[in-house]
Amino acid sequence: MTGATSAEFARHAWDFRDAALGAERLLGERDEYLLNASLPVAFLFGTCIDLALRSYILAMDSSLTQFASPDCRHDLESLVDEASRLGLARLIRVEAYDLQMLRVLSQLRSKTTCEYSAVQSEEIPIFDSMKKLSEKLLEIACAMAGYERTTYE
């Protein structure tokens, strides 16, 4: 994705959000996922949030090409810090719980597949919280990137 534009990041962020919602429809019926989301859903929402933040950052300052680099770390807290520096904090309120959730999602996304079995369900954020934050970030990122999502009914 080298050289990706803010609109491309926004489009992919929507795709990961949709994938998270689809996975939740399938997995959310299971008893073990009634409160906390499943690991795949959390991973998909984490990726959605990552892409939405990158979209916002690039929309606000296209010279920050390091955020479009494949070598860029997937640290959601650093991305939120940079986005806030570029004005995100004036547009949406990121609560303390959201920051904690971003920390957890970053940690989950940094694990190797061999480590997944050790993740306890209570370590995974609540579905509604991830969905709400991802949608707030997507709305702002898409507006700033000039990306209009095509909806299919």
Question: Containing domain of residue 25, as a range?
Answer: 6-145
Residue 151 is assigned to a structural domain of this protein: no
Residue 152 lies in a domain: no
Amino acid occupying residue 124: I
State residue 1's pLDDT score: 43
Separation of alpha carbons 2 and 84, rounded Å: 23
Residue-wise pLDDT for 77-126, tens only, equals 989 999 999 999 999 988 899 999 999 999 988 888 788 888 888 888 98
Q: Which two tokens stand for residue 79?
A: 């991305």
Q: What is the pLDDT of residue 10?
A: 95
Mean pLDDT of the chain: 87
Global pTM reads 0.89
DSSP letter, residue 150: -
How many domains, in total, are found in the chain?
Answer: 1
Count the Cβ atoms, other than its own, within 10 Å of residue 139. Answer: 13
Residue 1 lies inside a defined structural domain of this protein: no
Find tokens 């570029």 and name the residue: 86
Question: Given a cut of 90, is residue 153 above it in pLDDT?
Answer: no
> Of 7-21, 60-74, 104-118, where does the model show the most confidence?
7-21
**Cα separation, 63 vs 128, whole angstroms:** 34
Strand pairing partners for 36? 126
**pLDDT band per the 50, 70, 90 thresholds, residue 35:** low
Q: Report which of 99, 121, 112 is spatially closest to residue 32, judged by C-alpha positions.
A: 121
CA pair distance 124, 102, nearest whole angstrom: 11
Q: Is residue 27 part of a domain?
A: yes
